[in-house]
A and B are shown apart, each in its own frame.
Chain A
Amino acid sequence: MNSSTQAPSAAPEKHRQSPTALPKDPQASGNSERVLSWGRYPRVEHRHVYKPAWNDQVLGILQAAEPDSLLPFGLGRSYGDSCLNAGRDLLDCQRLNRILAFDESTGMVRCESGVSLSDILRVFVPKGWFLPVTPGTSFVTIGGAIANDVHGKNHHCAGTFGAHVQQIALYRSDKGSMFCSPRENSEMLHATIGGLGLTGVIAWADIQLKRVDGPWIDSESIPFHSLKAFLDLSLESNAGFEYTVAWLDCFAGSNLRGVFFRGNHAANYKKDFRPKGGPILPFELPSWVLNPLSVRAFNAAYYAVHVAKKRRAILPYQPFFYPLDSIRQWNLLYGREGFLQYQCVIPENNLAAFEELLDRAARSGMASFFVVLKQFGSAPPAGMLSFPRPGLTITLDFPKRGERTLALLRSLDDIVQKSRGALYPAKDARMSPVLFETSFPNWRGFLPYKDPKMSSSLWRRVTGLP
């Protein structure tokens, strides 16, 4: 009988799972069920969804799988098909959600792949620690944040999420349990960051959190009326502000308008902090709800509110970083057909291409609210297939309206292609192999690190591999 009264040591310890194969555990299996990505397009069927509750079940599932059949899945916040595996299997990591170690003196946390960023924030913000980098939603897993090498409003000073991953343990179908750090198997670490889940299943990862004074953000919002004004604001803010991002009204036509947001963690601001839950969108809205008129009205109202509002305010971190997290299932807004998100980066020396892209999206009358603009910093990519690179990145939502939407996006692709830009796989459901090649010219260098049992809908679509 094994028993212990010892408190676990706070210092990270070596990975102790045994690398031996385990028999396939019936508890780790699941039904075939409808799994959708956040854009709710494409709608595909999966053969089987494995839902292991413990890390010790993962290797058994990997080893029993057929070649190119499996894909790790987190909270499904990728917009397109990078988290889908049509006709094949998913390995749902949501139940692998234990925090295994935390060092209070350094802020290093070790967690399993299914721990969500919102979970990390809930546990560590009260202790005075914050995520080093966070995307626009906290409902993503650590595994997903690494696999897509996500970026946030602090890309210009902190780089991507992957830059703060110190070491990981990886379950692979061919090599068992594998420890990866900058000194040991560093190439595998490099490939796993931004590796779209194709290098194996992350057993745990060590993330360096950052010290903060509290949950408050000292934020400013500034209206602007041209791309030039946005760039000036962005350059001016890079030094003094940790977080910068802009919202753009795509419907204002030639008189472009937007709101620039910037902020820092507020120091020495002591006020009671009460996080609250928000409403939930309970069902898909009919598709006519989102039409050019209603979007125009929303955008005008959003702009008016932010221009009228106090320029400077101290906000809790949630509304600043995760404005949409307060409306659960906001993706149902787009109705049954779902939507496509388009995020590209275009080099800064090619501002004309950027303007053309904006103009084309606006003239189509199909773009929606939530157009987001951000100037990436020059940090070297943390992963082999990382998306962020120096330039301007824009994110647009398009309700899926059949072939019309796809044709528009193809015409935007042409601009990205010509300007040697790139498209973000985590948002994509339809880019061509040619554009993938332009976006990630070195993708073939990734092949040796791919787990032979792993594949995804996106991977097969953009590479043509089985």
Chain B
Amino acid sequence: MKSVTPVQALDSRATPASRNKPAALRRIVVLGATSGIALEVQKQSASRRCELLLVARSPERLAALQADLPIRGAPRVLIHSADLSAIAQHPGIVEFARRELPDFDTVLLAYGSMHNQKDAERSIDVLLEELQVDFVSAASILTLFAAELERRRTGCIAAITSVAGERGRRSNYVYGSAKGGLSLFLQGLRSRLYPAGVRVITIKPGPVRTPMTDRLPNAVNFASPQQVAHDIVRCLERRSPDVLYTPGIWRYVMAAVKMVPEPIFKRLPL
């Protein structure tokens, strides 16, 4: 049942410099496979006939995805239940990927946590947990996967951070600083892996309508996960930008936000 995938078709259109590298997005490892954005990315890449290895905590939810995605076109869906916030479990995850999907070409980090900022201001436990999940654990697992891809001199690492990481705001700076830290980490990782031919993509979505943001006001006006996933899949397929803003308008919004001088910005109730 082998057919030409869109990815294979794209190979011929790749730039000369990348022609000798296999195109990304044929075998994807998704870290945080049950998160709102990941669900849509998986659905869309299944219909593009990508093989998937899904990592998340709940075995029941993973089983539902393992049933769903092959029907939508994924030739193979592997699942691995693990707690990504527990760094001790990370070597096992990489080991599983190496064993079960040895020629994976893309790693997508899609998990995160956003508490109510007020809780993190009052409780150091909440604060540390948020930094642990959104930054420390992400840096840990990506370092392990980076070593693997660097050794193979191929592939792509993509991670979902946030436009909230561009500038610290009083209403959301804990989440913002963790995601901002992750963005900087990815920037350095990209430079480190460049000589090895491994792509690193920083994905910066604006607010998206997912379970994580349901409790925020104005959630109706947020971008849909479908649209954001569409941008992500397209970015992974093509060899376009290192930093993806989605929806695209956020690139310009954040450029403007970053230009506001600090003496003014600190007074804004954002």
* A8: B residues at CB distance < 8 A: 63, 66-67, 70
* B78: A residues at CB distance < 8 A: 3-5
Does A1 contact B64, Cβ atoms closer than 8 Å?
no
Q: Answer whether residue B22 sits at the interface, using C-beta atoms and an 8 A cutoff.
A: no
Knowing A5-B78, A8-B70, the reply to whether A54 touches B215 (Cβ < 8 A) is: no
Which candidate, A26-34, A220-228, A237-245, A406-414, is the interface stretch facing chain B?
A26-34
A33 to B215, CA, bound (A): 11
* B215: A residues at CB distance < 8 A: 26, 29-31
Knowing A31-B217, A100-B68, the reply to whether A1 touches B211 (Cβ < 8 A) is: no
Q: Answer whether residue B241 sits at the interface, using C-beta atoms and an 8 A cutoff.
A: no
Does A53 contact B36, Cβ atoms closer than 8 Å?
yes
Contact with B along A77-108 (1 / 0, CB 8 A): 00000000000000000010011111000000
A123 to B65, CA, bound (A): 15
* A16: B residues at CB distance < 8 A: 60, 63
Does A51 contact B66, Cβ atoms closer than 8 Å?
no
* B39: A residues at CB distance < 8 A: 53
Contact with A along B81-94 (1 / 0, CB 8 A): 11000000100100
Knowing A5-B78, A99-B68, the reply to whether A54 touches B214 (Cβ < 8 A) is: no
CB distance from A37 to the nearest CB of B (A): 16
Does A51 contact B67, Cβ atoms closer than 8 Å?
no
A4 to B76, CA, bound (A): 12
Does B71 contact A51, Cβ atoms closer than 8 Å?
no
Q: Answer whether residue A2 sits at the interface, using C-beta atoms and an 8 A cutoff.
A: yes
B187-231 contacts to A (CB < 8 Å): 211-212, 214-217, 219-220
Does B79 contact A102, Cβ atoms closer than 8 Å?
no
Does A33 contact B72, Cβ atoms closer than 8 Å?
no
Does B81 contact A2, Cβ atoms closer than 8 Å?
yes
Does B65 contact A98, Cβ atoms closer than 8 Å?
yes
Contact with A along B247-270 (1 / 0, CB 8 A): 000000000000000000000000
A7 to B36, CA, bound (A): 24
A101 to B219, CA, bound (A): 32
Q: Answer whether residue B100 sits at the interface, using C-beta atoms and an 8 A cutoff.
A: yes
Q: Answer whether residue A299 sits at the interface, using C-beta atoms and an 8 A cutoff.
A: no
Q: Answer whether residue B61 sits at the interface, using C-beta atoms and an 8 A cutoff.
A: yes
CB distance from A440 to the nearest CB of B (A): 35
Point out which of A3, A55, A98, A100 has the most chain B C-beta atoms below 10 A from its C-beta: A3
Does B71 contact A33, Cβ atoms closer than 8 Å?
no
**Chain B: which residue is nearest A33 at the CB level?**
B220
* B60: A residues at CB distance < 8 A: 16-17, 54, 56
Does A98 contact B68, Cβ atoms closer than 8 Å?
yes
A51 to B78, CA, bound (A): 27
* B47: A residues at CB distance < 8 A: 123
Does A98 contact B64, Cβ atoms closer than 8 Å?
yes
CB distance from A134 to the nearest CB of B (A): 19
* B220: A residues at CB distance < 8 A: 33-34
* B58: A residues at CB distance < 8 A: 54, 56
CB distance from B74 to the nearest CB of A (A): 10
A30 to B220, CA, bound (A): 11
Interchain CB contact (< 8 A) of A100 among B34, B61, B67, B77: B67
A17 to B67, CA, bound (A): 14
A34 to B217, CA, bound (A): 12
Does B67 contact A30, Cβ atoms closer than 8 Å?
no
CB distance from B192 to the nearest CB of A (A): 30
Does A3 contact B214, Cβ atoms closer than 8 Å?
no
**Chain A: which residue is nearest B60 at the CB level?**
A56
A99 to B67, CA, bound (A): 7
A4 to B77, CA, bound (A): 10
A3 to B61, CA, bound (A): 13
A30 to B78, CA, bound (A): 31
Interchain CB contact (< 8 A) of A30 among B36, B64, B68, B214: B214
**Majority secondary structure, A binding face:** loop
Interchain CB contact (< 8 A) of B71 among A1, A3, A102: A102
Does A98 contact B67, Cβ atoms closer than 8 Å?
yes
CB distance from B216 to the nearest CB of A (A): 8
Does A53 contact B64, Cβ atoms closer than 8 Å?
no
Interchain CB contact (< 8 A) of B64 among A33, A55, A102: A55
A51 to B64, CA, bound (A): 18
* B36: A residues at CB distance < 8 A: 53
Q: Answer whether residue B6 sits at the interface, using C-beta atoms and an 8 A cutoff.
A: no
Does B64 contact A54, Cβ atoms closer than 8 Å?
yes
* B73: A residues at CB distance < 8 A: 123
B138-171 contacts to A (CB < 8 Å): none
A7 to B77, CA, bound (A): 7
CB distance from A303 to the nearest CB of B (A): 38
CB distance from A357 to the nearest CB of B (A): 39
* A34: B residues at CB distance < 8 A: 220
CB distance from B118 to the nearest CB of A (A): 15
CB distance from B182 to the nearest CB of A (A): 22
Interchain CB contact (< 8 A) of B72 among A4, A51, A53, A123: A123
Does B82 contact A1, Cβ atoms closer than 8 Å?
yes
A1 to B80, CA, bound (A): 8
* B61: A residues at CB distance < 8 A: 54, 56
Interchain CB contact (< 8 A) of B100 among A5, A29, A51, A123: A5
A34 to B77, CA, bound (A): 38
Interchain CB contact (< 8 A) of A51 among B34, B65, B211: B211
Does A31 contact B219, Cβ atoms closer than 8 Å?
yes
* A53: B residues at CB distance < 8 A: 34, 36, 39, 211
Does A101 contact B67, Cβ atoms closer than 8 Å?
yes
CB distance from B266 to the nearest CB of A (A): 29
CB distance from B27 to the nearest CB of A (A): 14
A294 to B137, CA, bound (A): 62
A5 to B79, CA, bound (A): 7
Does A51 contact B68, Cβ atoms closer than 8 Å?
no
* A31: B residues at CB distance < 8 A: 214-217, 219
CB distance from B6 to the nearest CB of A (A): 15
Could you show 10 A-B contacts with beta carbons less than 8 Å apart? A1-B92, A2-B81, A8-B63, A26-B215, A31-B216, A34-B220, A53-B34, A99-B67, A99-B68, A99-B71
The chain A residues found within 8 Å of chain B, CB to CB, are 1-5, 7-8, 16-17, 26-31, 33-34, 51, 53-56, 95, 98-102, 123
The 4 lowest CB-CB distance pairs between A and B, nearest first, are A98-B68, A2-B81, A30-B214, A2-B59
Q: Contacts A30-B214, A98-B65 known; list 15 others, CB within 8 Å.
A: A2-B59, A3-B96, A3-B100, A5-B78, A5-B100, A7-B77, A8-B67, A16-B63, A30-B215, A31-B215, A56-B58, A98-B67, A98-B68, A99-B71, A123-B47
